[in-house]
Amino acid sequence: MKKHNFGAGPSILPQEVFEQSAQACLEYNGIGLSILEISHRSKEFTDVLDESISLIKELLNVPDDYSILFLQGGANMQFNMVPYNILNEDETANFVETGVWATRAEAESRLYGKTKIIASSKESNFNYIPKNFEVDEDALYLHLTSNNTIYGTEFFEDKQYPIPVICDMSSDIFSRPVDVSKYHIIYAGAQKNLGCAGITLVIIKNEWLGRAKRPKSKMWDYEIFAKNNSLYNTPPVFAIYTCLLTLRWLKKLGGLAEMEKRNIAKSTLLYNEIDRNLLFKGHAVEEDRSRMNINFITTNPEDEVAFLEFVKPYNIHGIKGYRTVGGFRASCYNALPIESVQVLVEAMQAFEKSKNA
């Protein structure tokens, strides 16, 4: 029996994506070859790449003056590639520190230019999104992390700031409509909502290609990958194909407006139970609660291990919380069905009854 997978990533994918990608590993489209062995220069893969880019532009309504890049290395590599390509040594970038990944992004950026943390929620273990912060208008850009997988907070508004915005959307991209025009760069690891691990999506405004003055390695140069349609070196063919299947699934279901409705329904169901059940309490403040990563703890610390043991018969996987928060983290990415959330809620209610018996 397949488990209810609340893992934070690599995470759940749609069942039809598993089935279609598995078949393609045996033989792709009746050509007598596996997707794992076709050339990245072949017509078959060019079609996969072109359709993937087209669907990303369609689903996110990407303006014409942006490039879509498929890279590798995850968000961690982008923590370096962004300032390497954009930030000159005498320029400053602003950061809003909302968790581990925002902290890492700022630390890596110091290698290439100046940085300044203009707002942070570190003092309260990142349980809220800073509000009403002021950016430095002489800074080159503002860096945000839209969703925080470890602490369970999320930005929901695509705001216009006086300076360009760069956003790490690794864990909530494609979970809701996004106004891409409000950002100069969006980057995201694929392993949450876009496909399997091994590929990183970068959406960059063309005017920033080749911006930084430093001599660049071709393998770290956005402009090189844009000119070569992400084919400067051999790309992760299978990961891009899995991405294509996921994008097709998203479009078939009705696009990002429909996904947002589903994600609101799932997160509301679980947060309502957390707030109702006296054995549990949430980590994030209510107005900033993530729809993707729902963090909660037991009101009695001794119940934590007991609850993890209690849910095993329910076939629930991946809810143990990150060490800096503890408790539990239920990641409710796009492909997680609401039925899995219902099972978790039933387990929480049954645990409550067992404690009151």
Residue 7 inside a domain? The answer is no
Q: Are residues 93 and 225 in the same domain?
A: yes
Residue 249 inside a domain? The answer is yes
Give me the amino acid identity at 248.
R
Distances (CA, A) of 304 to 97, 240, 300, 324, 355: 29, 39, 8, 15, 13
Phi, psi of 106 (to 5 degrees): -65, -45
Tally of structural domains, the chain = 2
C-alpha 163, offset from chain centre: 23
Residue 153 inside a domain? The answer is yes
Predicted local distance difference test score (pLDDT) of residue 1: 64
Whether the pTM exceeds 0.85: the reply is yes
Cis peptide before 10 (omega within 30 of 0): yes
Residue 10 inside a domain? The answer is no
Q: Are residues 215 and 323 in the same domain?
A: no
For residue 56, what are the contacts with CB-CB under 8 A and spacing of at least 6? 62, 68, 201, 203, 247
Residue 9 inside a domain? The answer is no
What whole-number distance in Å separates Cα of residue 235 and Cα of residue 35?
A: 13
Residue 3 inside a domain? The answer is no
Hey, which residues are catalytic here? 101, 168, 192
For residue 72, what are the contacts with CB-CB under 8 A and spacing of at least 6? 198, 199, 200, 235, 236
Q: Are residues 221 and 284 in the same domain?
A: no
Q: Are residues 50 and 183 in the same domain?
A: yes
Which of 302, 307, 346, 351 is closest to 329 using CA atoms? 307
Which residue, chain included where needed, has tokens 């700031």?
A: 161
Q: Are residues 271 and 180 in the same domain?
A: no
Predicted local distance difference test score (pLDDT) of residue 245: 98
Scanning 173-254, the segments in alpha helix (DSSP H) are 222-227, 237-253
Residue 6 inside a domain? The answer is no
Q: Are residues 284 and 316 in the same domain?
A: yes
pLDDT tens digits for range 77-124? 999 999 999 999 999 999 999 999 999 999 999 999 999 999 999 999
Decide: 290 and 301 in contact? Cβ < 8 Å.
no
For residue 311, what are the contacts with CB-CB under 8 A and spacing of at least 6? 319, 344, 347, 351
Residue finishing a domain among 253, 285, 316: 253
Residues of the chain short of pLDDT 50, as ranges, are: none
Q: Are residues 245 and 278 in the same domain?
A: no
Residue finishing a domain among 229, 253, 277: 253
pLDDT tens digits for range 187-214? 999 999 999 999 999 999 999 999 999 9
What whole-number distance in Å separates Cα of residue 60 and Cα of residue 207?
A: 19
For residue 143, what are the contacts with CB-CB under 8 A and spacing of at least 6? 82, 93, 94, 95, 96, 102, 105, 106, 109, 165, 166, 167, 168
Predicted local distance difference test score (pLDDT) of residue 357: 76
Predicted local distance difference test score (pLDDT) of residue 2: 84
The residue segments making up the domain with residue 267 are: 255-356
Q: Are residues 138 and 190 in the same domain?
A: yes
What whole-number distance in Å separates Cα of residue 239 and Cα of residue 200?
A: 10
Residue 180 inside a domain? The answer is yes
Provide the token pair at 267: 């997160």
Q: Are residues 262 and 165 in the same domain?
A: no
> Can you give the CATH number for the domain in which 279 is found?
3.90.1150.10
Decide: 112 and 84 in contact? Cβ < 8 Å.
yes
Q: Are residues 190 and 58 in the same domain?
A: yes
> Can you give the CATH number for the domain in which 172 is found?
3.40.640.10
Q: Are residues 241 and 282 in the same domain?
A: no
- β-strands 66-71, 200-205 pairing: antiparallel
Burial 182-220 (b: 16+ CB within 10 A, else e): ebbbbbbbbbbbbbbbbbbbbbbbeebbbbbeeebeeee
Residue finishing a domain among 253, 281, 307: 253
Q: Are residues 305 and 170 in the same domain?
A: no
